[in-house]
Amino acid sequence: MKILILNGPNLSRLDIREQSYYGDLDYPQLKSAIENRAAELKIEVDIKQSDSESELISWLHEAADKKQPVIINPAAFTHYSYAIRDAVAMLTAPVIEVHLSNPLSREEFRHTSVVSGVVNGTIAGFGAESYLLAILAMQKLVG
């Protein structure tokens, strides 16, 4: 099994974002943690990050064409990108939404996810462990 893991805007700058939400984890450490857990489970991952909505959509279209499972952290696009929502809705393989922080414990504008309605599930609030839990969940979904 190969899982596409997509990360949205500003995740490449974790180490300089609000530490009360993101801790002192930087993006290379996050990628390493994901890759290590996936390797332990003998799962191949392709991890990508972009600040560009159009690039994320292109990657989602490719995943749809390949029928590839996706774990996505849409980041700020979570709350307003109907274009990303529509691209996620095209996926026929399982898709899981993840967030490092718990959006419901943050500012009110973060309480709405336009993506959640078209994914198999959402895992949020566990820091890097959110991704690791998503890999385990994906393994069960794909069988």
Burial 73-87 (b: 16+ CB within 10 A, else e): bbbebbbebeebbeb
Catalytic residue among 27, 61, 80, 99: 99
The answer to whether 27 is a known catalytic residue is no
The answer to whether 61 is a known catalytic residue is no
Rounded-to-integer distance, Cα 6 and Cα 56, Å = 7
Rounded-to-integer distance, Cα 66 and Cα 50, Å = 20
Catalytic residue among 21, 22, 27, 111: 22
List, by residue number, the catalytic residues: 22, 99
